[in-house]
Amino acid sequence: MSDVKWIKLSTHMFEDEKIKLIEQMPEADTILVIWVKLLSQAGKTNASGYIFLSEQIPYTDEMLATIFNRPVNTVRMALEAFKSFGMIEIDEQSFISIRNWEKHQNVAGMEKIREQTRQRVAKHRNKKQIEQAEKESNVTVTEGNATEGEVEEELDKEREEEKIPYVEIVNYLNSATGSKYRAQTNKTRSLIKARWNEGFRFNDFKLVIEIKTHEWVNDPKMSKFLRPETLFGTKFESYLNQEEVGEQSAVGQGNTSQYEELF
């Protein structure tokens, strides 16, 4: 995934109460530099505010100290301050994410990256298709009349792929359930794409999340199924068309049969 070359910083950044509190801490200047470096690193990772070496390997304090060229104890103090002020989150696997990452995103820059990618892919495929056509027909053909239709079809597929709001859907699930799923996970994306190709849209995903969260969130046996594999799987349409279940039927025997139906 291409990294984002710019992030947004507010001109009122130093008027924020959290920043003012940090400025009263020891090594305040270094801590603020670390905050900007974290934002920059999140832009490079380009994963909805998460910061990691790979999707399986989170950064340790020592790794960040090396990358940021700052003492490890200062990095630890900074991370603890950011966490206590609600500026970052650190999940149970030690993955760091920036809270409210959307306000730091460079939307124009991200769209530029997507457009450049589309152009590169189109040019490459066009060239390959022309070469193949020339080889098969042994005649000279022009770029326009040989592959225009096929290139447009490929670009239409790419445009449709970019329209799928993976991040918005997963963020809505995380907000509703208090979970921390990532929109970049291949399995999650494939499930969302499968339902999208069946004609379901963002509001359908929201409704399924709302229905099943209301039904399962207070049931310890069922709450663990508030995850993409279950919600966005083959039972998606049946979840979408069921009537919302009241609190009394969301626990107890009513859920036993539902539990069994999941397997």
Instruction: Using the 3D structure, point to which of 60, 84, 104 is the last residue of a domain.
Output: 104
Same domain, 19 and 59: yes
Looking at residue 46, what is its pLDDT? 81
Same domain, 203 and 136: no
Instruction: Using the 3D structure, point to which of 57, 87, 104 is the last residue of a domain.
Output: 104
Q: What domain range includes position 81?
A: 13-104
Same domain, 100 and 156: no
Q: What are the φ/ψ torsions at residue 57 (nearest 5 degrees)?
A: -125, 110
Q: Decide if 236 is inside a domain.
A: yes
Same domain, 117 and 192: no
Same domain, 211 and 228: yes
Looking at residue 115, what is its pLDDT? 65
Looking at residue 78, what is its pLDDT? 95
Crossing angle of helices 107-137 and 143-163, rounded to 10°: 140
Same domain, 170 and 234: yes
Looking at residue 63, what is its pLDDT? 95
Instruction: Using the 3D structure, point to which of 143, 163, 183 is the last residue of a domain.
Output: 163
Looking at residue 253, what is its pLDDT? 45
Q: Decide if 2 is inside a domain.
A: no
- How many domains does the chain contain in total? 3
Task: Spell out the per-residue pLDDT of the chain, length 263, in tens.
Answer: 455 567 778 788 888 899 999 999 989 999 999 999 999 998 888 887 889 988 889 999 999 999 999 999 999 999 999 999 999 999 888 999 998 877 766 545 555 555 666 677 777 777 777 777 777 665 444 444 445 555 556 555 555 556 888 999 999 999 999 899 998 888 999 999 999 989 899 999 999 999 999 999 998 889 889 999 999 998 999 999 987 655 444 444 445 455 555 64
Same domain, 25 and 97: yes
Q: What is the pTM of this model?
A: 0.44
DSSP letter assigned to residue 65: H
Same domain, 89 and 152: no
The closest alpha carbon to 225, from 235, 195, 192, 242, belongs to 235
| Backbone Cα Rg of the chain | 24
Which residues of the chain form beta strands (DSSP E)? Answer: 50-54, 57-58, 88-90, 96-98
